[in-house]
Amino acid sequence: MFKSTLRTLAIATAVSAIAVGAHAANPKVGGAAMYENKNIIENAVNSKDHTTLVAAVKAAGLVETLEGKGPFTVFAPTNEAFAALPKGTVDTLLKPENKAQLTKVLTCHVVAADAMSTAIEKMIKDDKGTHDVKTVGGCILKAKESMGKITLTDEMGGVAHVTIADVKQSNGVIHVIDKVLLPKM
pLDDT at res. 3: 45
User: pLDDT by residue (tens digit) across 128-181?
Assistant: 999 999 999 999 999 999 888 999 999 999 999 999 999 999 999 999 999 999
**What would be the CATH architecture of the domain defined by 2-177?**
Roll (2.30)
Q: What is the DSSP letter of 45?
A: T
Task: List the one residue out of 55, 48, 53, 52 whose CA is nearest residue 30.
Answer: 48
**pTM (predicted TM-score):** 0.85
pLDDT tens digits in sequence order for the chain, 185 residues long: 444 433 433 343 343 334 444 444 788 998 888 999 999 999 999 999 999 999 999 999 999 999 999 999 999 999 999 999 999 999 999 999 999 999 999 999 999 999 999 999 999 999 999 999 999 999 999 999 988 899 999 999 999 999 999 999 999 999 999 999 999 97
pLDDT at res. 15: 39
Task: List the one residue out of 77, 79, 181, 78 whose CA is nearest residue 135.
Answer: 181
pLDDT at res. 26: 87
**Residue 102: its H or E element:** helix 99-107
CA 60 from chain centre, in angstroms, equals: 17
Beta strand 159-169 pairing with 172-177: antiparallel
pLDDT at res. 19: 42
pLDDT at res. 172: 95
pLDDT at res. 155: 96
